[in-house]
Amino acid sequence: MKKIGFDNEKYLKEQSRAILERINLFKGKLYLEFGGKLLYDYHAARVLPGYDCNIKIKLLQQLKDQIDIILCIYSGDIAKGKIRGDFGITYDADALKLIDNLREYGLDIKAVVITRFENQPNVITFKHKLEYRGIKVYLHTFTKGYPTDVNTIVSEEGYGKNPYIETEKPIVVVTGPGPGSGKLATCLSQLYHDYKRGIKSGYAKFETFPVWNLPLKHPVNIAYEAATADIGDVNMIDPYHLNTYKESAVNYNRDIELFPVLQRILKKIMGNNLVYNSPTDMGVNRVGFAIIDDDIVKEAAKQEIIRRYFRYNYEYVLGIQPFKTLERVILLMEELNLKPEDRRVVEPARKSAERAKEKLGNNYKIYCGAAIELSDGTIITGHNSQLMTSASSVILNAIKYLAEIPDKIHLLSTNIIEHIKKLKKEFLGIKNEVLDLQETLIALSISAINNPTAEMAMEKLKELEGLDVHLTHIPSPGDDLGLRRLKVNLTADANFPTRDLFIGY
């Protein structure tokens, strides 16, 4: 049984109370900037075992009658097709997915704001797509004078040029699919327009990490640095908070560096209504108060740092990340005396690759291993063969173990496998006949029609969510998507699964 280090119910109560207390500081609306992921916050779930990755949505459901939601997306992310790593989809697609997900929870978007708009053709297409589906879209351009010329920023030439978004509820949640989406600028623009209308609104920030009331070098906070190594976030003691309250609080470099400018902007807009003396003051983050077992959380955070190392290492090999991103995580690992092999599934996977060489012979093209750690601590391995990839093998072996099916019993019909291979080679022109995980799962579902054993094993796929998996190679597209959909925590060595340059075809 998975060990729990975080209490969701306590967090919901603490966080709801903190938000409602914050709105009482202002006579108008509260613009609440939601940092991090609103839905499917898998990073938080990994470093805080027991954390519900959709707890923020449940929080919004509790406050449903008091909130409007604005979704921001940076036009540059749409234009360059930026990918959200945990889903493998573009940010504009993620924005559409987020709107659908919110509706499933009984929540709706008041408007979408496309920020720093520069008249890009594909951004205009995205805008039309939303409007055609009945969603209000607002275009905000780059704020003139930002960040130094506060008099221009807080004027009709700055925030005043942005169209005002009409809202009705006292709390306006401003969110986006990722960092740099323009949430803060949208909040400040709305504040400017509100004060012009005589509405004494306020601003606050809801961001889970870093956790302000944990030590600076707590593994949870270091794991946040590892997660944001690509954008260079560094945790620091908030000097403004320390100077004002003689109390240490952790924040990160961007918020601390921006605070003097932000304070001047807020002062210019709000006058004597300004209530913040530090970046930490602006936050409403109670996650640290819901940690119920610090040792469990520390160990989970260390594992997340190792997981980030593997991720950035193979992204570096693929040319997605520069070496400095990988180097940052290596330094963080050294700081906590961690090594890649501290992840329990790494060595068994590598040994499984060695067994593949023994079975397939020296003349085979590539030897790949995989391992998964089950919830009871059992480690199951698999390797590639002439029939399937190592990812397919380890998943089939795991569900057979969970269903107590003897190893000698085959789950997949030979007939089905041969027909899939024929389809790939003769009709689709795919050179690689080996079944990847996506194809293997489809074959399993077909086999389950006439095979009760296969059906029993297929039911066990649900028990794999959240388990650790390691591959000795970079996953092919079919393996990657299959593992994502099983919601396992994947790491991989920075080795290519084939000598072919065009992977997966």
Q: What is the CATH number of the domain that holds 171?
A: 3.10.630.10
| 143 and 85 both lie in a single domain | yes
Domain termination site, one of 199, 218, 235: 199
Per-residue b or e along 67-91, where b marks 16 or more CB atoms closer than 10 Å to that residue's CB: bbbbbbbbbbbbeeebbbeeeeebb
Q: What local confidence, expressed as pLDDT, does residue 86 receive?
A: 61
Find the domain containing 358 and state its range: 343-492
Q: Are residues 65 and 190 in the same domain?
A: yes
**Reported pTM:** 0.90
Among candidate residues 258, 298, 304, 306, the one with its CA nearest the CA of residue 279: 258
Q: pLDDT by residue (tens digit) across 266-289?
A: 999 998 777 899 999 999 999 999
Q: Is residue 95 part of a domain?
A: yes
Flag whether 285 is in a domain.
no
88: amino acid identity, one letter: G
Q: Residues 334, 358: one domain?
A: no
Assign residue 365 the CATH number of its domain. Answer: 3.40.140.40
Instruction: Let me know whether 311 and 426 are in one domain.
Output: no
By C-alpha distance, which of 365, 374, 376, 364 is closest to 397? Answer: 374
- In this prediction, residue 434 carries a pLDDT of 87
In a domain, 45, yes or no: yes
Whether residues 42 and 176 share a domain: the answer is yes
Q: What is the structure's pLDDT at 504?
A: 47
Q: How far apart are CA 19 and CA 22, in angstroms?
A: 5
Q: Which of 177, 199, 221 is the last residue of a domain?
A: 199
* Shared-domain flag, residues 48 and 91: yes
Same structural domain, 312 and 403? no
Residue 144: Cβ within 10 Å count: 14
For the chain, how are helix, strand and coil distributed in percent, rounded to 5?
50, 15, 40
Positions of the chain with pLDDT under 50: 504-505
Residues 32 and 130 occupy one common structural domain: yes
- Tell me which of 165, 181, 199 is where a domain ends: 199
Whether 207 is covered by a domain: the verdict is no
- pLDDT, one tens digit per residue, over 352-389 is 999 998 888 777 778 899 999 999 999 999 999 988 99
122 and 194 housed in the same domain:
yes
Number of domains in the chain: 3
504 domain residue, yes or no: no
- For residues 382 and 333, membership in a common domain is answered with no
Residue 380 in domain: yes
- 119 in the same domain as 103: yes
Separation between Cα atoms, residue 228 and residue 425, nearest integer Å: 42
Q: Count, in order, helices (H) and strands (E) of the chain.
A: 20, 14
Judging by DSSP bridges, how do beta strands 202-206 and 111-115 pair with one another?
unpaired
Say whether both 138 and 174 belong to one domain: yes
> Does residue 289 fall inside a structural domain?
no
For position 500, what pLDDT does the model report? 65
Q: Is residue 213 part of a domain?
A: no
